[in-house]
Chain A
Amino acid sequence: MGSNILYIEDNPDNMMLVKRALESHGYTLLEAEDGLSGVEAAEAHEVDLILLDINLPDIDGYEVARRLRASERHNLTYVPIIAITANALKGDAEKALSAGCDVYMSKPINIRELWARVEAFVPAPEPKTK
């Protein structure tokens, strides 16, 4: 099993925080900054887990999740998706789960929890040595 994680997120601060946290545990992070490029990246690369922001500038995260689950690329119908949102609207969690996400996390992202959630699906490789 690989360790490629796709993070679909338009906020550069969140992207940097998560990138640093996951790369420190040896994961490889693929980045997409909107929903459509996120779907494209998922279909073009081997990804083992997807972190998905809900409030994206083009299509929202719910629609991204629905498109991934309906993808002709078979592994995307079951690849783990962790929704990460600022939960600013009623029922974000419920909508994320019904759109096909496996886990819902709210911002601010507790990094220890993120590691635990990711590792539950994708075992951590050895951390990169300098």
Chain B
Amino acid sequence: MNTSPHSYVTGLTCSGCGKKYSANEIHTFCPDCQSTLLVQYDLEAAKQHIDRDEVSRRSKGMWRWHEILPVIEAKNQVSLGEGDTALLPLDNLGREHNLRHLYVKEESSNPTGSFKARGLSAAVSKAKELGIKKVIIPTAGNAGGAMASYAARAGMQSMIYMPKDTPRANIEESRIVGAEVILIDGLISDAAGLAGIKAREEGWFDVSTFKEPYRTEGKKIMGYELAEQFGWELPEVIIYPTGGGTGLVGMWKAFQEMETLGWLKNNKRPRMVSVQAAGCAPVPRAFHKKAAFCDFWTNAATVASGLRVPKSFADHLILNSLYDSHGTAVAVEDEALMQAQKELAMAEGIFAAPEGAATFAALKELIAQKWVDPDERIVLFNTGSGLKYLDRT
């Protein structure tokens, strides 16, 4: 008889003070030190019961990794077919830049056209399991559409605060699935403040980046998929566009989990590269000062709306993953990322989101600095579809 549980989740731990919380109750962030809560699993038990190769044979999608996701009962999983995105070789650009193993993880094929689907699938599913009926989110764009879609599928009410100059596709995709959209004269940081007030006043559950524990869990599956796609090895370099940073932090957590599970052929982790726009680059500025936290970026401005995040709530976790991995942080000008978008499209047929294209612009800088080696396996992350930004291109 198979006694393996649907999930090996054991609880939540504060990333700041280490205090533990139950995963069977509603939590946001640590009330004592106001740091992000991270989900913990009984990985030793999981190691005994989960066969990595059996997981590979399951039907495709993010939820085939359910044992290391936080939802306890399968009936609470809210899915639109997210995950298992392609890892595409970029042979043409690789040849042009003398890189023999250049890839893109193509996240635009997720539901709602961006990687945000992963985190919001996990967060809305866990919210459903915990009995939450209405969810609220501040967003720079794609997270709003994703949350609204998953909330609709789960039968929940949704409310979204977004800057009034957010790409139109994000506004319309949110409205069509029934979300109440509030456009504000400000940035995501301003939206976060207003959404937080609304949440407290009216009892909405706030699924802001890192202010609830579960979006990171959906995003971490990108790390599991990468390992699987590379034959249970990890690439040498991951270049990732960073707004809130859940993907970067999530993948770093995934690598740690896979080491404990014994799933990797070796435990050499990638060097993580955080990419931001020069007009809003708190992470590169903090990284190059070797700081533990980012200073709030004033007068943030970039065409890449997803990168217009003046300060992430979990900036210290982002920076730690860069320091621990011997990685780096790169700021690219808007002109460079728009040029990179054209080159990716012309050379490889990939119409990337500006945020995704920024990773290729950053790669060119890293090549010039000789920070990458021609024989290394390098993975760019295209986090969304360029089609969602037609009013920007």
Q: Residues of A at under 8 Å CB distance from B? A: 17, 21, 85-94, 97, 103-113, 116-117
Contact = CB atoms under 8 A, between A and B. Distances in A.
A83 B192 CA distance: 17
A110 B34 contact: yes
A113 B316 contact: yes
B89 interface: no
A91 to B, nearest CB: 8
B185 A90 contact: yes
Contacts of B197: 86, 88
Contacts of A90: 184-187, 190
B315 to A, nearest CB: 8
Contact of A93 (B29, B33, B298): B298
B34 A109 contact: yes
Interface string B307-331: 0001101001000000000000000
B295 A88 contact: no
B5 interface: no
Contacts of A94: 298-299
A112 B33 contact: yes
Given A94-B298, A97-B298, A113-B293, A106 B189 contact: yes
Contacts of A87: 189-190, 192-193
A89 B310 CA distance: 14
Instruction: Sort A-B residue pairs by CB-CB distance and give the 6 closest, nearest first.
Output: A88-B193, A90-B186, A111-B33, A108-B34, A87-B193, A113-B293
Given A97-B298, A104-B298, 8 more contacts: A86-B193, A90-B185, A92-B193, A94-B298, A105-B296, A107-B193, A108-B313, A112-B35
B81 interface: no
Contact of B35 (A88, A89, A93, A110): A110
Interface of B: 16-17, 29, 32-35, 184-187, 189-190, 192-194, 196-197, 211, 292-293, 295-296, 298-299, 310-311, 313, 316
Contact of B316 (A89, A104, A106, A112): A112
Contacts of B185: 90
Contacts of B316: 110, 112-113
26 contacts: A86-B196, A87-B189, A88-B190, A88-B196, A90-B184, A90-B190, A93-B189, A94-B298, A103-B295, A104-B298, A105-B296, A106-B193, A106-B296, A106-B311, A107-B196, A108-B211, A108-B313, A109-B34, A110-B293, A111-B32, A111-B34, A112-B16, A112-B316, A113-B293, A116-B292, A117-B293
Nearest to A86: B193
Given A87-B193, A88-B190, A88-B197, A110 B33 contact: yes
B29 A108 contact: yes
A116 B293 contact: yes
Nearest to A112: B16
Contacts of B196: 86, 88, 107
A104 B305 CA distance: 22
Contacts of B299: 94
Contacts of B32: 111
A93 B298 CA distance: 6
Contacts of B193: 85-89, 92, 106-107
Contacts of A112: 16, 33, 35, 292, 316
Contacts of B33: 21, 110-112
A109 B196 CA distance: 13
Contacts of A85: 193
Contacts of A104: 295-296, 298
